[in-house]
Amino acid sequence: MRSNVLWIWFGVFFLLQGCVHATLRPQTVQQQPIKLKQRYFQAKTTASDGTVLAFTVYQPHLRADQTAPLLLHTHGFGLSRMKRPELSLYGFLLPTGQVAKTAWKNGYWVISYDQRGHGHSQGKIRLTDPEKEAQDVISIMNWAEKNLSQLAQNQNGVRTGMIGESYAGGVQYIASALDPRLQAIVPITTWYDIVDSLVPNGVPKGDWLSFLNLIGDWWNWNKFDPELKQAYQDTQQGQLKQSTYHFLKTHQASWFCENAQVPKADALIIQGFRDVLFPFNQGVKAAQCIQKAQHEVHLIGVQGGHLQPFAQHSPLGDTPFWYIGKSVTCGNQKQYKLQSTIMGWFDQKLKDQAATNDLPELCVDKSPVQQLKDLDATTHYTLNKTWIEAKNSHPIFVPIQTMTEVMHITGTPKLALNIETQSKDSTPTLFISVAIKSKKTGKYVIFNDQTAAFNPSKKQAFDQVIFGSKSNQKDNQTIELPSINGNLNQGDTLGLLIHTESIYYQKIKQPKIEAWISGQITLPKLWDATATK
């Protein structure tokens, strides 16, 4: 009954998002500052390519002698903007909308906008194209400078911050690389490398891709750009094509970082360990890029993120496909409320207020780590040769180490796996998780629900597409597993749990698997778990 009520609420909010609302004209920018009343109104602007963009402007209460910075807010994939401060999905429930509302009430100009192909904005969805979606961010900042009064400015123009989760996070990195007016960004549970996220090691996340296609091109009826439709169809063939990579390669922060166009903003990044679409690794790489460019960056690790529909569940059930929680407790033993931490970040960066907390460089919930380097894989373990048969429906557990005391592990494992099959004509696709075998129950528990797909042939083909002639197929079979975070009890055995199918990927038709596996895994540091209590 509870889940039915929740879905009814979601339906009501989606309908409300689309309700007709009068569009008010912005006040003409005054030559002389005046007292401004708190209000909100609907507006539109035209992007450089002629696409009409719809947004809601939240005007703060300001004295005549006050100025206010601008905060941009946008939505996740398939959703739409915060059209009202209460009767809207973001205004009522989702945390990025709550932060935007707080900013408005605390003296920020706020613009919440529909990305192209969503809500009331025109155009086709290009999946964060730097020449489309990222340029739309620039168009909205341009509109604000021309139409809003008493904006806080610096040498680059209006002082601007940006917040949003998932689809609304990826565009922040790219827009920041293109326009220095974005001074502070808060990308939440988003991608650094969208190709690696959707087609890791050359194996498409088929179920997630189908779900994204459903809410992107069916919920927003026929709004996918033809190139994006073709890219989706290509992934349904079970591999990454050169044309798909060519379409997507610039739609990600990784391309800009690798081509000397790093984001120019300081960043507070929030990424989830249970996120099976954009795992914690994506936030780590984005943070490393921004840190290397000598901008300030903080990375917060939460348990949540994107959840596989009908397979994973959020703790309270109110947002069934995504959640981040309300607070984290870092390695310095201090608890941080996420929304107030984000608000403090914007106040510091856009209003020049003193920092209100001592947030470390790295803050992972209930983990002792405090620096990005703490996540590195540093300890090598040899994997004993193990026999795998597909006809055995049970997973194969390959032990790594048995704990002699209570320990904690946080970081990103790396795996070099050898697969020896009797047939040289085909290689199997294996689904690999870092897991614990409990001493008390004998059962296996997968760290953070995460699984990595690995097929040597598809990995070689993937590397050829990505790296071309620079790919060394023989020496490039080491893969990065999804980042993990959690405790191990005394007597528990840490190991790899290997399946021949996964709920996160479409069922793959493959011949009978009979193979020997062996190799080496490199794990991050094991910490004394008492440091987290």
Give pLDDT tens digits for 300-335: 999 999 999 888 988 877 788 899 999 999 987 899
Looking at residues 146-152, what average pLDDT do you find?
Answer: 98
DSSP string, 492-529: -EEEEEEES--TTSPPP--PPPEEEEEEEEEEEPEEEG
Share of the chain above pLDDT 70, in %: 91
Torsion of CA 213, 8, 117, 45, to 10 degrees: -160
In-domain check, residue 85 = yes
Q: Clarify whether residues 352 and 380 are in a common domain.
A: no
Count other C-beta atoms under 10 Å from residue 443's C-beta. 9
Count other C-beta atoms under 10 Å from residue 471's C-beta. 17
- Element containing residue 299 per DSSP (H, E): strand 297-302
At residue 2, the pLDDT reads: 32
**Which of 373, 394, 410 corresponds to the end of one domain?**
373
C-alpha 336: how far from its chain's center?
Answer: 20
Q: Are the C-beta atoms of residues 199 and 189 closer than 8 Å to each other? A: no
- Element containing residue 414 per DSSP (H, E): strand 414-421
Cα 272 to Cα 76: distance, rounded to the nearest angstrom: 16
Q: Are the C-beta atoms of residues 267 and 186 closer than 8 Å to each other? A: yes
In-domain check, residue 113 = yes
Q: Clarify whether residues 361 and 402 are in a common domain.
A: no
Q: Clarify whether residues 363 and 491 are in a common domain.
A: no
What CATH number has the domain bearing residue 525?
A: 2.60.120
Note the pLDDT tens digit of each residue in 49-79. 999 999 999 999 999 999 999 999 999 999 9
In-domain check, residue 181 = yes
Q: Is residue 226 classed exposed, middle or buried when 0-12, 13-18 and 19+ CB atoms within 10 A define those classes?
A: exposed
Cα 471 to Cα 343: distance, rounded to the nearest angstrom: 44
DSSP string, 246-268: HHHTTSSHHHHHHTT----SEEE
Q: Clarify whether residues 391 and 505 are in a common domain.
A: yes
Hey, what are 153's tokens? 């400015």
Cα 379 to Cα 198: distance, rounded to the nearest angstrom: 28
At residue 16, the pLDDT reads: 32
Q: Are the C-beta atoms of residues 380 and 414 closer than 8 Å to each other? A: no
Best CA proximity match to 93, nearest among 77, 105, 79: 79
Q: Clarify whether residues 319 and 387 are in a common domain.
A: no
Cα 369 to Cα 374: distance, rounded to the nearest angstrom: 6
CA dihedral sign, ordered 344, 345, 351, 354: positive
Q: Clarify whether residues 464 and 451 are in a common domain.
A: yes
In-domain check, residue 285 = yes
Total domain count, the chain: 2
Query: Is 60 exceeded by the pLDDT of residue 5?
Result: no
Distances (CA, A) of 12 to 113, 117, 399: 20, 21, 49
Note the pLDDT tens digit of each residue in 174-210. 999 999 999 999 999 999 999 999 999 999 998 888 8
At residue 17, the pLDDT reads: 38
In-domain check, residue 230 = no
Q: Clarify whether residues 335 and 385 are in a common domain.
A: no
Residues whose CB is less than 8 angstroms from the CB of residue 121 and which lie 6 or more positions away in sequence, other chains included: 51, 52, 53, 54, 113, 114, 115
Kindly indicate the confidence band of residue 30, based on its pLDDT and cuts at 50, 70 and 90. Answer: low
Would you say the pTM of this structure is higher than 0.85? yes
What CATH number has the domain bearing residue 69?
A: 3.40.50.1820
Looking at residues 15-23, what average pLDDT do you find?
Answer: 35
Q: Clarify whether residues 432 and 452 are in a common domain.
A: yes
Residues 33, 39, 40, CA angle at the centre, nearest 5°? Answer: 115
Cα 510 to Cα 344: distance, rounded to the nearest angstrom: 52
**Which of 330, 346, 373 corresponds to the end of one domain?**
373
Q: Coil, strand or helix: which one is 237?
A: coil
Q: Clarify whether residues 420 and 437 are in a common domain.
A: yes
Query: Is 50 exceeded by the pLDDT of residue 13?
Result: no
Domain that holds residue 51: 2-196+262-373
Cα 373 to Cα 394: distance, rounded to the nearest angstrom: 36
Q: Clarify whether residues 401 and 483 are in a common domain.
A: yes
At residue 422, the pLDDT reads: 78
- Element containing residue 59 per DSSP (H, E): strand 52-59
In-domain check, residue 525 = yes
At residue 393, the pLDDT reads: 63
Query: How far does the chain reach from its first CA to its final CA, in angstroms?
Result: 37
**Which of 328, 345, 373 corresponds to the end of one domain?**
373
Q: Looking at the DSSP assignment, which residues form a beta bridge with residue 44?
A: 54
Hey, what are 128's tokens? 């964060």
In-domain check, residue 251 = no
In-domain check, residue 163 = yes
Kindly indicate the confidence band of residue 216, based on its pLDDT and cuts at 50, 70 and 90. Answer: confident
Q: Clarify whether residues 392 and 416 are in a common domain.
A: yes
Q: Clarify whether residues 49 and 126 are in a common domain.
A: yes
